[in-house]
Amino acid sequence: MIDTITLKKPFDAHVHLRRGAMLRAVTPITAEKFSRAIVMPNTDPPIETVEQAAEYKKEILAAIPRGDASRFEPLMTLYLTKNLTPAEIEKAAGSGVYGVKYYPWGATTNSQWGYQNILEAKDVLKKMEGVGLPLLLHGEVHVDERNEEVDPYRGEQTFIKGILPELLTSYPKLKVSLEHASSAEAVDFIEKNGKEGRLVATITVHHLLYDRGDAEPRPLLRVKPLIKERSNRDKIRALVKKGLPFVSAGSDSAPHPESKKFATTAAFGIFSAPVAVELYTQVFDELGCLDKLENFLSVNGPRFFGLEPSSETITLVKKDWQVTEPVVTDEGVKVWPIYHKDMGLGNETIHWQIKK
């Protein structure tokens, strides 16, 4: 039995750090566990210029303990709003911007500025293809071409079948990352069409852990894309077990204040930063593929963005622990992570921990 594993320091290909007090509370956690992270731009207001991205990056770096910015690098992205121009894309390439994030209109937290259909953003996509700036996809359809609402459990499948093939054919050199793949259809598509440097996918820890029955009644597990029936989870598990070079970890850690997460209609987003590395390790251990963990967590992600993996390492040991406290911001707001022993499935125990 393996009970210790040392890895290059992980890379989070998808994280939400928010702004202000929330940012100050969650950034140190991500910075402790990850060497770099692709930071999502769906703040309010959204990040849609190179200048705004640079300002946002400064705010993140200021929140790292002891100002030790050499230990964690936030990699910035722009939001594909209708205001984003090809000229801004030109400027972004080589200015510390690593991708452009697409959110379908109305899909999730602060997604009201996006296009309903990504294919409408022709000039921007052409420019991104030209300069090699990756497109990060929230690949779901919420309202179809007849303006009818799509079943939220089928939104990703609809995107995979109806839009993604045309996007890939229309822009044959565009670098595309399908974020938080959550369905059997997404897994099949990636397995068949994935290619290093061209089409990759990120996988969250919550889509590896839970199924619809776990998630539906629990506000803490309310997230887009929705957590689906168990057969989908098992397909995602089988995918990561294959150790493909175009599949990597993207936690999609997305904190919300307690008041929003436990509101009558809970905000979408799972806060996993405090436990993601440990839980990915746990799942890979359960699957008997710890030998695939380092590439998934630490190598495949940076490679897609043209970066070397971290030269630092972390060591995990097999030792049980529980999350007993929420994270609390400097304004006294509680933020509940998944796997909290009282707020999740109940008495959840994590079997791996990072050695201090």
Q: Catalytic residues, which ones?
A: 252
The SS3 assignment for 278 reads helix
Q: Does 156 bind Zn ion (CB under 5 A)?
A: no
Determine the Cα–Cα distance for residues 118 and 107; give it in Å rounded to an integer: 13
Q: Can you tell me whether residue 297 is helix, strand or coil?
A: helix
Cβ–Cβ < 8 Å for 79, 53: no
- For Zn ion, give the closer residue by CB, 108 or 300: 108
Q: Where are the alpha helices (DSSP H) in 132-193?
A: 155-162, 164-170, 184-193
Interface pattern 234-263 for Zn ion (x via CB under 5 A):
------------------x-----------
| Nearer to Zn ion among residue 41 and residue 294 (C-beta) | 41
Is 77:39 a contact under the CB 8 Å cutoff?
yes
Choice between 35 and 251, CB closer to Zn ion: 251
Q: State the nearest-atom distance from the C-beta of 347 to Zn ion, in Å.
A: 28
Residue, CB closest to Zn ion: 252
Q: How far is the CB of 99 from Zn ion (least distance, A)?
A: 12
Q: Which is nearer to Zn ion, 185 or 252 (CB)?
A: 252
Report, in Å, the least distance between residue 108 CB and Zn ion.
Answer: 7
Residue among 101 and 127 whose Cβ is closer to Zn ion:
101
Interface of this chain with Zn ion, residues 41 to 70, rule: CB under 5 A: none
In whole angstroms, how close is the CB of 226 to Zn ion at the nearest point?
13
For Zn ion, the closer CB: 129 or 252: 252
| Cα 268 from Cα 144, distance rounded (Å) | 21
3-state secondary structure of 136: strand
Q: Is residue 115 exposed (0-12), middle (13-18) or buried (19+ Cβ within 10 Å)?
A: middle
Least separation in angstroms between CB 26 and Zn ion: 13
Q: What is the largest CA-CA distance in the chain?
A: 55
Q: What is the separation of C-alpha 41 from the centre of its chain, rounded to a whole number of angstroms?
A: 12
Which SS3 state, helix, strand or coil, does residue 103 take?
Answer: coil
Of 265, 167, 270, whose CA–CA distance to 225 is shortest? 270
Determine phi and psi for 58, rounding to 5 degrees: -60, -45
- Residues 304-333 touching Zn ion, rule: CB under 5 A, are none
Residue 9 C-alpha from the chain's centroid: 17
User: Site for Zn ion (CB under 5 A): how many residues?
Assistant: 1
Q: Please identify which residue in the block is written with the tokens 């940012």.
A: 23
- Give the torsion sign (CA, 275, 281, 282, 284): positive
| Burial category of 355 from C-beta neighbours within 10 Å (exposed 0-12, middle 13-18, buried 19 and up) | exposed
Judged by beta carbon, residue 171 or residue 268, the one nearer Zn ion is 268
Shortest separation between residue 74's beta carbon and Zn ion, angstroms: 15
105 and 116 Cβ atoms separated by less than 8 Å: yes
- State the nearest-atom distance from the C-beta of 109 to Zn ion, in Å: 8
Using CB under 5 A as the criterion, which residues of the chain lie in contact with Zn ion when the complex forms? 252
